[in-house]
Structure 1
Amino acid sequence: MNTKLIDWGTFIGALILLLGVTIPLILFPEGGKEVVNQANTFVSGNFGVMYMIMGLLIFAFLLFVAFSKNGQIKLGDEGEEPEFNTFSWAAMLFAAGIGSSILYWAVIEWAYYYEGPPFGVEGGSPEAIQWSTAYGIFHWGPIAWAIYTLPALPIAYFYYVRKKPVLKVSEAVRPVLGRRVEGPLGTVIDVLFMFGLMGGAGTTLALGTPMIAEGISDLTGVEVTLGLQAFIMLICTTIFAISAYSGLRRGIKVLSDINLWLSIFILAFIFFVGPTRFISETTFNSLGIIMDNFFKMATWMEPFANIGDFEETLFPESWTVFYWAWWLVYAPFVGLFVARISRGRTIRQMVLGTMIYGTLGCILFFGIMGNFGLYMQLTGQLDVIGFLDTNGAPATIIEIMNQLPLAKFIVLIFTILAIIFLATTFDSSSYILAAVVQKKVEGEPLRWNRLFWAFALCIMPLTLMFLGGLETLQTASIVGGFPLIFIMFLLAWSFMKASNTDIRASDNYESPTIHIERWKRKGKKKKRSALEVLEDRKDED
């Protein structure tokens, strides 16, 4: 077992932080939950506006990068073809970034907005219905995928253009922080990212496992228990451990392709056998609402709450701020993964492809699944709101699926899809966690390392699930992810600084990739470029 490549400071630091949070929650569940919830209220209540500003700035920044000279940079050698075809590339980035959570929220999120709409609108009113169809797509739309994409810029740039075989967030901010990333500061940055990801994984498990359990219960008649949920979690762990162990091409790619084909099948089935006209018109109408109110939705806070006649709804903190924080926690992971699979594409293709394919996929899920559930509610075929209040979200989701023709078959496909979605998120997560704790990644992270993190991702959430602390862990990860706002700023700054330096140094202001290739053709591989000399001087300064 090769251990020389392991960055033990980051490896052990991440485990210590995770244990430092989870052990007190295990020993003092009620007290720990109260502390974490108070911290969450403080962060979201006092700094929620920072998350909102961050979302808009990242979205604007990425559009600028995509259409600037920086967007023309090729991630790889001149003339190199993309490592993965567009279908597999889109499947992998979507499966890694979304997971089974989209099956949960796409079906049921509209119901929460229906009852508790934004902007002081009365619950259950025609206006509330309009907003309920749009807000889910907004929360899972371009800003979410922009937050995901930002870390991919500097990471992919250093890995494929400057040829540095390191997949670390700390390495991506080297142009700004210099050699300081080689010390404790760099370790802290990587450990914070890993903690956020492991806690964010708890969120996905908290949503996906009960939903899968309800699907199995509906098909077999077995009662939903903690034991059943634990069994499901172990099955999913085995699947994604095998996938992560098999590697990117033989495991993760294959699982992601299956995932996408099953998604296309179930969405097409619901669209064509369900209320096709209602689904298509409502989805189209929702896109119009979002485009007409994009900046209103992206900036709405409640500064006048509890002043005069203004009542506080807590909608921004409960939904938009929470979602931006959730995407932020996952962003370095998804960015690392998108960077790893984007070899052979340009920066522009990577940025626009991730934002467009990711958003399009979410529009289809929310537009088709969500509006089918809404149709059941409005026509009286199923009292979704009443069923939700009585039985909870997981059971309601399966009950909505039961309203379709061939209901048991569709519930079976839906449950299998949820399992694979969960597995594809976690095999990607374990792959990236393994990469972050290695000093070098040439090809793929070490197999034993990938396998270790596959099971590490499951052990803590499994323990906390039995103690009822899974929700607390996900809240803690979002609070702990607050410093990532500043790291995101450093990532953007680092990419612009590095790419602009290379562009200025290149002949005739051509792509840095072309410049590097010219040096190779001139037989100057052993000579140090002016760029390297400049970088060394900056580090010394």
Structure 2
Amino acid sequence: MHITKVFWYAVAICIAIVVWGVFAPDQLNGFTTSVTGVIYNQFGWFYTLVIIALIGFCIYMMFSRFRNVKLGKDDDEPDFSLPAWFAMLFSAGMGIGLMFFTTAETISHAFIKSPNAEPGSEQAILESLQYTSLHWGFHGWGLYAVVALIFAYFKFRVGAPGLISATMEPLFGKKAMRGPVGQVIDTLAIFATVAGVASTLGFGSAQINSGLTYLFNAPDAFWFQLLILIVATVVFIASAWSGIGNGIKYLSSINLWLAVILLLGLFTVGPTTYIINMFVTTIGNYAGNFIQMSFDLKPVNESQRGWVNDWTIFYWAWWISWAPFVGMFIARVSKGRTIREFIIGVLIAPTLVTFIFFAVFGGSALNLEQHGIAKLSSLATETVTFGMFEHYPLGAILSFLTIIVVAIFFITSADSATFVLGMFSTGGQLNPSNIVKIAWGLLLSAMAAIVMYSGGLDGFQNMLIIAALPFSIILILMVVSFYKTIKKIED
């Protein structure tokens, strides 16, 4: 077992935040809120440009002269089948968020606060799926694809350690990146990962609690969410213990099939024609307004700018904070694939699947409120999906299946994260020790619990925004270093 200084630095930071949250939760939440406000107002443009630039770089690489370069040696073959590979990368990249926001975000944009129109109007309803597609489509997956591509190339083609600092050695040299500067970079990556994953564990605990309350009248309280978190922690640590080839692979594959069954079930009992029409219209609106939506920060309207901060900038920060973890995990399971195959699998395929999920779940929710059948916009975010199922046939079965899917997404995201955190804190080992994975699993859950206790969902958002800023700068340096290296090696 090889534990580096980075492990202890990152653990110390996480423990300090946990202790701060236990003894002074209001102070912690107030501090993170004030810092977040500054970042929103001063750096929202920066997040936007970083995300757009990474999408452009991703598409360039797919069609460049490097498109047939293998992520590995020339004779390497993929370690996992195509379905298993896609299931793992999709489960790690989307996880609980997909089930949490498919209905809630769509309803919010249509009937609570719209970016451009009067809530409840025809324009607001049509734009609701258009903007959820913006937040969950190419922008996020393009970011994941670039980060994962860089990790995979350096690890399997160049033979570098599985560390962020190792990807920047061509720019700054081994001495700098294997010394204090590199340790700071890797520590920042770990903190960004912990903040991003802890937020998702909080989302998942809240939605599982909501589902159990809806179905079985379970207590809707912090202590019950904490109990859910504890049970899930035991399960995802056990899964991480078994390794990628066993627990993580099988759980990801099972969950993707369960999610597809849930999707087909709602598509069948829901407003099928309405869903199809909304899906086709959304694709057209998304494609036609892609550039405008991507760059629109609404600088002259304070109310609309607030919407951009609360939704779009938050999402860019969320994706960025998840990029070290998801990128490394996708890289870890992608050895042997060409750059073009890799980008198609990580950028295009997940985006299309995501659009389908939002059309079915979001469209089914929109149909109810548009026609006055249900007031879903009055429900809490984590309850909207279950409130929607109540008005369709087989609602109880679909709700129960949703709880299972959310729980497994919870587990697959967390066990993937513990695996990657183990890699980052043991010098880039492909198979970190179980002791290290257990330590990170416990710390992730402790962070999730304390942020739930201190600030709820607002606390999660604040941590995400703060953690993403330093790593967004690191992302730019990683891309420059990667391009310099691939030109030198492959030309």
State if a TM-score over 0.5 links the two structures. yes
Letter in 2 for 1:380: G
In 1, Cα distance between the equivalents of 2:316 and 2:322?
Answer: 10
Instruction: Pick from 134, 139, 146 the counterpart of residue 150 of structure 1.
Output: 146
- TM-score normalized by structure 2? 0.96
Question: Retained in 1: the 8 A contact 2:193–2:322?
Answer: yes
Give the TM-score taking structure 1 as reference length: 0.88
**How far has the Cα of 1:134 moved from its partner?**
1.1
In structure 1, the residue matched to 2:24 is 28
Q: Return the offset for 1:71.
A: 2.1
Quick check: 1:149–1:334 contact (8 Å CA) kept in 2?
Answer: no
Is 1:431 equivalent to 2:423 in the alignment?
A: no
Q: 1:306-455, aligned counterparts within 5 Å?
A: 312-385=304-377, 387-388=378-379, 392-442=380-430, 444-455=431-442
TM superposition shift of 1:384? 1.3
- Does structure 1 retain, via aligned residues, the 8 Å contact 2:26–2:454? no
Distance 1:369 1:440, change over 3 A: closer
Equivalences for 1:222-233 in 2 at 5 Å? 222-233=218-229
The SS at the match of 2:348 is helix
Which of 458, 463, 488 is the equivalent residue of 2:450?
463
Deviation at 1:153, TM superposition (A): 2.1
Matched with 1:274 is 270
> Residue type of the partner of 2:72?
G
Question: Structure 1, residues 350-378: CA drift from partner, whole Å, max 9, x if none?
Answer: 12210112212211211111110001111
Identify the residue that residue 6 of structure 1 maps to in structure 2. 3
Moved more, 61-70 or 198-207: 198-207
- List gaps (5 residues or longer) in structure 2: none
Residue matched to 1:100: 96
Residues 415 and 441 of structure 2 are in contact (CA less than 8 Å); yes or no, is this contact kept in structure 1? yes
Match of 1:483 among 467, 470, 480: 470
Q: Provide, for residues 183-223 of structure 1, a one-character-per-residue CA deviation record: whole Å limited to 9, x for no partner.
A: 11111111111111111122212221111012112222222
> 1:318 corresponds to which letter in structure 2?
D
Distance 1:147 1:378, change over 3 A: same
Read off the aligned partner of 2:422 and give its amino acid letter.
Answer: A
Cα RMSD between the aligned structures? 1.6
Report if aligned partners of 2:199, 2:448 keep a CA contact under 8 Å in 1. Answer: no
Matched residue, 1:472:
459
Amino acid at match of 2:336: G
Does residue 117 in structure 1 map to residue 105 in structure 2? Answer: no
In the TM superposition, what is the alpha-carbon distance from 1:102 to its structure 2 partner? 1.0
Whether 1:215 and 2:207 are equivalent positions in the alignment is no
What corresponds to 2:235 in structure 1? 239
1:264 aligns with 2:264: no
Asked if 1 retains the 8 angstrom alpha-carbon contact of 2:317 and 2:468, the reply is: yes
Give distance in 2, aligned partners of 1:474 and 1:199: 9
Is the partner of 1:70 in helix, strand or coil?
Answer: coil
- d(CA) in 2 for partners of 1:45, 1:394: 28
| 1:135-174 alignment runs, 5 A limit | 135-164=131-160, 166-174=161-169
More off after superposition, 282-291 vs 356-365: 356-365
1:305 aligned onto 2:301: yes
Match of 2:484, as an amino acid? Answer: K
Indicate how the Cα distance of structure 1 residues 462 and 437 shifts in structure 2: closer, same or farther if over 3 A, else same. Answer: same
- 2:130 corresponds in structure 1 to 134
Deviation track 1:34-66 (CA, whole Å, cap 9, x = no partner) reads 221111111111110111111111101111111
Structure 1 letter corresponding to 2:472: I
The correspondence for 1:175, drawn from 170, 173, 180, is 170
On the 8 A contact 2:195/2:467 being kept in 1, the answer is no
Unmatched 5+ stretches in structure 1: 505-541
**Using a 3 Å threshold, how does the CA distance of structure 1 residues 96 and 332 change in structure 2: closer, same or farther?**
same
Q: Which has the larger radius of gyration?
A: 1
Shift, 1:312, TM fit: 4.6
Per the TM alignment, residue 81 of structure 1 is displaced from its structure 2 partner at its CA by: 2.3
Distance of aligned partners of 1:312 and 1:459 in 2 relative to their CA distance in 1, 3 Å threshold: closer
1:157-177 CA distances to partner (integer Å, 9 max, x unpaired)?
A: 12111223x211111111112
* 2:78 partner SS: coil
Q: Which amino acid aligns with 1:366?
A: F
SS in 2 for 1:380: coil
Say how many residue pairs are matched: 489
Q: Deviations over 1:446-501 (max 9, x none)?
A: 12222221222112222343344564254124213201121111111111111111
